[in-house]
Amino acid sequence: DAGVIQSPRHEVTEMGQEVTLRCKPISGHNSLFWYRQTMMRGLELLIYFNNNVPIDDSGMPEDRFSAKMPNASFSTLKIQPSEPRDSAVYFCASSFDEKLFFGSGTQLSVL
């Protein structure tokens, strides 16, 4: 298995632009998580899906953030409009039990 696959690896955009991050979880995993990592706040859970259904989005910082999981093999995290304070590394993780497997992340820079 290739593991959790995220794209793009790096994204540089200007303030106000829409950003879409993509994730392909490990096949057979029924849970998917989006985390954000910054130096100041560490790893923060943004949203959790179980069987493609959003269960907990309390970590989504604002209405500018949205996430979807249209099927078991794909999820997106969208920021619209993006702001400089959204700059961070965004990780997707999947699991079928408590053990999470992480992708390599998307390094987002909003100028």
Interface residues with another protein (CB under 8 A)? Answer: 4, 31, 33, 42-43, 45, 48, 50, 55-56, 91, 93, 98-105
User: Cβ closer to another protein: 74 or 102?
Assistant: 102
**Minimum CB distance to another protein, residue 9 (Å):** 9
User: Cβ closer to another protein: 80 or 96?
Assistant: 96
Look at residue 18 and give its three-state secondary structure.
coil
Q: Going by C-beta distance under 8 Å and a sequence separation of 6 or more, which residues neighbour residue 4?
A: 23, 24, 25, 26, 92, 93, 94, 101, 102, 103
